[in-house]
């Protein structure tokens, strides 16, 4: 059987994907329909007309990374995938644009802002100094024994707190420190709740904290200092 003959029709694939989601701990898809409070939404720039299409592609890429992580593919499949990836690389390479024009990570009207570095944070409620939401770390973020990789957690906290620190008309700041406490194992493939909030804002210094919970269990906590940039600072 050739690798291509392994490919099933789209309906069958999506049924398998749905059935496998729980087992694989797949990330939740990008969502476009969750209302967020004014201060969080204030970060949203006018929607790029390709946002939804691009967001859907990124959601597929997230799922793909989870499947790659979970699979133990035969050698024909590995070779076919390598060839496909090489073809896609060659197709995309001439489309490179300067940073300011790239779409990856710049689509602020999408939960997860159209990137795959960290799992999709779905903001469900926010005010000037707080944001609440959910996240699920897919299999791609596995460290070991069902636990999320210890490096993926601060990355996620930076994502949430960095955005909150710069919300509600505040001038841009950068992370000066971000301390993470791992209180208990963060499980892969489980819906987790997130709360991020301002502790203080004095001069250029903004101290924020965040908490990641699985049910009532605190998995991890973070405190970050975000320093407002002076004019001309990169």
Residues that bind ligand MFK in the complex, under the rule CB under 6 A: 43, 108, 113, 158-159, 162-163, 174-177, 203-205, 225, 227, 229-230, 233
DSSP-derived letter for residue 227 is: E
What is the SS3 assignment for 146-178?
A: CEECCCHHHHHHHHHHHHHHCCCCCCCEEEEEE
Q: In terms of CB distance, is 62 or 113 closer to ligand MFK?
A: 113
Rounded to whole angstroms, the Cα distance separating 48 from 45 reads 8
State in angstroms the smallest separation of the CB of 206 from ligand MFK: 10
Beta-carbon-side half-sphere exposure of residue 121 (alpha carbons within 13 Å): 31
Q: In terms of CB distance, is 65 or 227 closer to ligand MFK?
A: 227
Tokens 């469900």 locate to 124
State in angstroms the smallest separation of the CB of 9 from ligand MFK: 38
Which ranges of 71-140 would DSSP assign to H, the alpha helix? 75-92
State in angstroms the smallest separation of the CB of 105 from ligand MFK: 8
Q: In terms of CB distance, is 162 or 189 closer to ligand MFK?
A: 162
Q: In terms of CB distance, is 21 or 118 closer to ligand MFK?
A: 118
State in angstroms the smallest separation of the CB of 154 from ligand MFK: 10
State in angstroms the smallest separation of the CB of 12 from ligand MFK: 38
Beta-carbon-side half-sphere exposure of residue 3 (alpha carbons within 13 Å): 12
Q: Which residues contact 173 (CB under 8 A, 6 or more apart)?
A: 165, 166, 204, 206, 226, 227, 228, 229
Q: In terms of CB distance, is 40 or 141 closer to ligand MFK?
A: 40
């Amino acid at each position: 059987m050739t690798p291509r003959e392994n490919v099933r029709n789209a309906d069958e694939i999506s049924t398998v994907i749905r059935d496998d989601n729980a087992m694989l701990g797949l990330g939740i898809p990008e969502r476009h329909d969750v209302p967020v409070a004014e201060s969080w939404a204030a970060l949203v720039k006018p929607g790029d007309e390709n946002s939804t299409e691009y967001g859907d592609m990124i959601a597929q890429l997230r799922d793909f990374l989870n499947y790659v992580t979970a699979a133990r593919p035969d050698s024909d499949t590995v070779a076919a995938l390598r060839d496909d990836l090489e073809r896609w690389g060659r197709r995309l390479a001439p489309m490179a644009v300067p940073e300011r024009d790239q779409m990856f990570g710049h689509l602020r009207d999408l939960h997860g802002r159209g990137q795959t570095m960290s799992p999709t944070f779905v903001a469900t409620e926010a005010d000037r100094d707080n944001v609440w939401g959910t996240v699920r770390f897919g299999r791609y973020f596995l460290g070991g024994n069902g636990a999320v990789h210890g490096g993926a957690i601060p990355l996620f906290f930076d994502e949430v707190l960095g955005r909150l620190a710069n919300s509600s008309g505040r001038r841009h700041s950068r992370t000066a420190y971000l301390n993470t406490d791992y209180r208990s194992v963060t499980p892969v493939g489980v819906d987790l709740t997130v709360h991020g909030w301002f502790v203080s804002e004095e001069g250029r210094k903004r101290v924020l904290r965040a908490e990641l919970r699985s049910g009532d269990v605190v998995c991890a906590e973070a405190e970050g200092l975000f320093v407002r940039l002076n004019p001309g600072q990169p």
